[in-house]
Amino acid sequence: MEQQTDTKVEQKTIRTGLIDCDVHPYPRSTEEIRSYMKKPWRDRYNGGGRGFFGNPVQGDRVDARPPQGGSSGSDPDFLRKQLIDEYGHAYAILMPRAFCNLHPDPDFGTAIAAAYNDWLADTWLSKYNHDGVFKGSITVNTQDPLAAAREIERWAGHPHFVQVMTDSGARSPFGQREYYPIYEACEKFGLPFAIHPGTDGMGINTQPSPGYPTHYIEWHTCLSLGFQSHLVSFMTEGVFERFPGFKIVLVEGGVSWLAPLMWRLDAEYKALRSEVPWLKRRPTEYLRDHVRITSQPLERPDKDDHLLQIFDMMDAEHLLMFSSDYPHWDFDSPTRAFPKLPEALRRRIFFENALEFYKL
């Protein structure tokens, strides 16, 4: 008689709660990042930022600063208490702020990106991540696409890196072929490409508006302009046809502009499709397969019914993922950012869309 052996099928445990797709961890000091850099970059690096468009009132939540001192977002225990435990997060997608793609020296920008990835992997994704709640983003320098592709390959097997990220600031729209090595690597390793605002018009990058705004309020209001340009570029350059497994996430660039922009592009496509013969479908038909958008900042009309109509028009049921932007000044609380949603839609936005998209 043949002996039977019991085999245990390992099943993945699905965490319940909500998935926050934009949480910003910060190093405790500049030296913490510098320690991961080799010379000469270590001696040159003095931290970074987006330059002169800084919030003139308050850039982060005052109450998010750790009681023991340090900047907001730098203490994992306090972040857990104030965000993860407070709202019952299943996962937090971490997006560091390296600001590496504004430097004229591409090697310097790549060195900064690599140092941030080493730091994130050693701290927030391991030492501070006993329960696996933190998932990370591989920072890349788009000024050097070949080096960016190598950086993606270096981290692609890590269990807690779930996407690639860069700032929206650029010298040319992201659909253009100079960036293809990045997208090829993303597709190869099944990692979405996340775009976050931060270096528009900074360093060697182009400002998406016609010239430079005068005030922070103007700059911050118009952050979505760069995102719109990049999305139309992805569509019309045929990136999703060339890389059918490639996906993008538009993070912190606004929400309500998506539907009317795509309507306009669909209308243009009807008359001008001979100019882009590589497109096999209307532009809007690529969205569900390739694009996701995060909720913060969420434009709130005076009437909640109008926001729900926007959600319906943009297919939020499949495209929208919740984000809080912790610990910044315009943080969106999961309990206050939205109107009362139908339970099925709430579940999609707060949990299921990100669970499926990131394969968590």
Domains, the chain, in order of start with CATH, read 18-357 (3.20.20.140)
Report the C-alpha gap between 116 and 121 in whole angstroms: 8
Token pair of 198, please? 């931060």
pLDDT at residue 4, rounded to an integer: 38
Phi, psi of 195 (to 5 degrees): -115, 130
Instruction: With residue 23 as reference, give the H or E element that holds it.
Output: strand 18-23
Q: Which pLDDT belongs to residue 16?
A: 86
Rounded to whole angstroms, the Cα distance separating 51 from 45 reads 15
The one-letter amino acid code at 17 reads: G
Nearest to 20 by CA among 112, 98, 97, 82: 82
Distance, in Å, from the CA atom of 201 to the CA atom of 53, rounded to the nearest integer, reads 10
> Which segments of the chain does DSSP mark as H helices, in order?
30-34, 41-44, 76-79, 85-87, 106-122, 145-155, 180-189, 216-221, 224-236, 239-242, 258-272, 287-290, 304-313, 316-319, 343-347, 353-357
DSSP 352: I
Helix (H/G/I), strand (E/B), else coil: 146: helix
Task: Quote the pLDDT of residue 109.
Answer: 97
Tell me the C-alpha distance between 19 and 318, whole Å: 15
Pairing status of strand 18-23 against strand 320-321: unpaired
Q: Does an H or E element contain 47, and which?
A: none
Q: Residues 6 or more apart from 209 whose CB is under 8 A from it?
A: 222, 225
Kindly report the CA angle at 248 between 143 and 270, in degrees rounded to 5?
105
Predicted local distance difference test score (pLDDT) of residue 189:
98
How large is the C-alpha radius of gyration of the chain? 21
Q: Is the C-alpha dihedral spanning 135, 244, 14, 64 positive or negative?
A: positive
Position 11 scores a pLDDT of 53
Look at the block and give the residue holding tokens 């705004």. Answer: 213
Reading the chain (360 residues) residue by residue, the pLDDT tens digits are 333 334 333 456 778 899 999 999 999 999 999 999 999 999 999 987 767 788 888 788 888 899 988 899 999 999 999 999 999 999 999 999 999 999 999 999 999 999 999 999 999 999 999 999 999 999 999 999 999 999 999 999 999 999 999 999 999 999 999 999 999 999 999 999 999 998 999 999 999 999 999 999 999 999 999 999 999 999 999 999 999 999 999 999 999 999 999 999 999 999 999 999 999 999 999 999 999 999 999 999 999 999 999 999 999 999 999 999 999 989 999 999 898 999 999 999 999 999 999 999
Q: Is the pTM of this model over 0.85?
A: yes
Burial 267-301 (b: 16+ CB within 10 A, else e): eebeeeeeeeeebeebbbebbeebbbbbbbbbebe
